[in-house]
Amino acid sequence: MKHRGIIFLLAGVLAALAIGWFVFPLALYRTEPQPIGFNHAVHTGEQNSMTCDMCHEFAEDGRFKGIPVVAKCAECHSTAIGTTDVEKRLVEEYITPGKEIPWMVYSRQPDNAYFSHATHVTRGKMPCEECHGPHGSSTTLPSFQVNRISGYSRDVWGRDISGIPSEPWQGMKMDRCVNCHADRNKVDGCVACHK
Ligand code: HEC
Ligand code: HEC
Ligand code: HEC
Ligand code: HEC
Ligand code: HEC
């Protein structure tokens, strides 16, 4: 009898762990498709050696322009230059009709948090990889997942369900902003980041 009790207990514990690690994330996050594929490495790798700022520009007033508009792509892809299906779709569905691509932004912060690339990249001289990891040299887009409760991208919290990042660049929750600032002797009031 005693043994059976322990076996049931263990089975229960294992089932709870399995729910926590595998079922809970499935229930918590909804995956949404990106509108079209994008391969950074084709552009930024040895073959074409484009620099990040050729697409991710800063405006004259210092403002970061984010993901490039479709007119930027049209500079090279007004007609297809390769033979891939994805490029054919890009030209037919977006470039020719002049329609913007509704990209999902992995790192999008809640509206009440204020972040400026000019402060960090232009003034602070931080490399993109410090916060975004290897996205700029990736060949495929990661799946885009939305937290069903908060509505935020999973990448803000970090991919690891434990909340402990397996790579230093994973996740951009408030504690990461605050910790980096503290490491660099920058102590701010709440309103520095919350407007
Ligand atoms: C040919 C234009 C082009 C170049 C060059 C380019 N990017 Fe991008 N970048 C894009 C497009 C289009 C997207 C939107 C699709 C995506 O998320 O990858 C994007 C998205 C991103 C994102 C995702 C932001 C988010 O949170 O959703 C990061 C990070 C990024 N680029 C970093 C880089 C870095 C770093 C480099 C240089 C090594 C670079 N990019 C060079 C076009 C470009
Ligand atoms: C400076 C020129 C240049 C710009 C600007 C540019 N590309 Fe490209 N792109 C290339 C080249 C070169 C290739 C390689 C073509 C080949 O050999 O297939 C390529 C390939 C591609 C492909 C097909 C290859 C693959 O594996 O996915 C897609 C899709 C693509 N680009 C999307 C974009 C988008 C979206 C933008 C705008 C954000 C953009 N490109 C901006 C030069 C450019
Ligand atoms: C100190 C950390 C940090 C650095 C360094 C950094 N980023 Fe970001 N990036 C962020 C955060 C945080 C966001 C989300 C901003 C928001 O939602 O307002 C973001 C958003 C983006 C986006 C999406 C913008 C949008 O809303 O459309 C792109 C593209 C991007 N970053 C590219 C880059 C590139 C390219 C570099 C290097 C030139 C870079 N980032 C450097 C933290 C950083
Ligand atoms: C990797 C380190 C790092 C990370 C991560 C980081 N920051 Fe910063 N941040 C800095 C540094 C360094 C400065 C000061 C730059 C300078 O003035 O040269 C700064 C400046 C700022 C400022 C300007 C404050 C002022 O006094 O002008 C704001 C606002 C800010 N960060 C918000 C954020 C937010 C929001 C996040 C997270 C989404 C974030 N930062 C993540 C390093 C970081
Ligand atoms: C260095 C930037 C920074 C500072 C300073 C900062 N925050 Fe935040 N805070 C953020 C970012 C980025 C988020 C969104 C990411 C997250 O939820 O962790 C956030 C999220 C929050 C949230 C959760 C809101 C939500 O929608 O999930 C609360 C509450 C909050 N902050 C309160 C505070 C208070 C109170 C202070 C002052 C003691 C403070 N913050 C200082 C960057 C900052």
Residue with the bigger pLDDT between 8 and 43: it is: 43
Ligand 3, atom 9: closest residue by C-alpha: 107
Ranked by mean pLDDT, the top range of 3-17, 85-99, 163-177 is: 85-99
Q: What percentage of the chain has pLDDT greater than the value 70?
A: 95
Burial 129-154 (b: 16+ CB within 10 A, else e): eebeeebbeeeebeebbbeeeeeebb
Residue with the bigger pLDDT between 12 and 194: it is: 194
Does pLDDT of 11 surpass 90? no
Ligand 4, atom 16: closest residue by C-alpha: 124
pLDDT digits (tens, 9 = 90+) for 66-110: 999 999 999 999 999 999 999 999 999 999 999 999 999 999 999
Q: Is the pTM of this model over 0.85?
A: yes
Q: Ligand 3: does its nearest atom lie under 6 Å from the Cβ of 108? A: yes
Ligand 2, atom 39: closest residue by C-alpha: 73
Question: What pLDDT, on a 0 to 100 scale, did the predictor assign at position 137?
Answer: 97
What single letter denotes the amino acid at residue 53? D
Q: How remote is the CA of residue 115 from the centroid of ligand 1, in Å?
A: 18
Ligand 5: atom nearest CA of 173 is 18
C-alpha angle 78-80-82 in degrees, rounded to nearest 5: 145
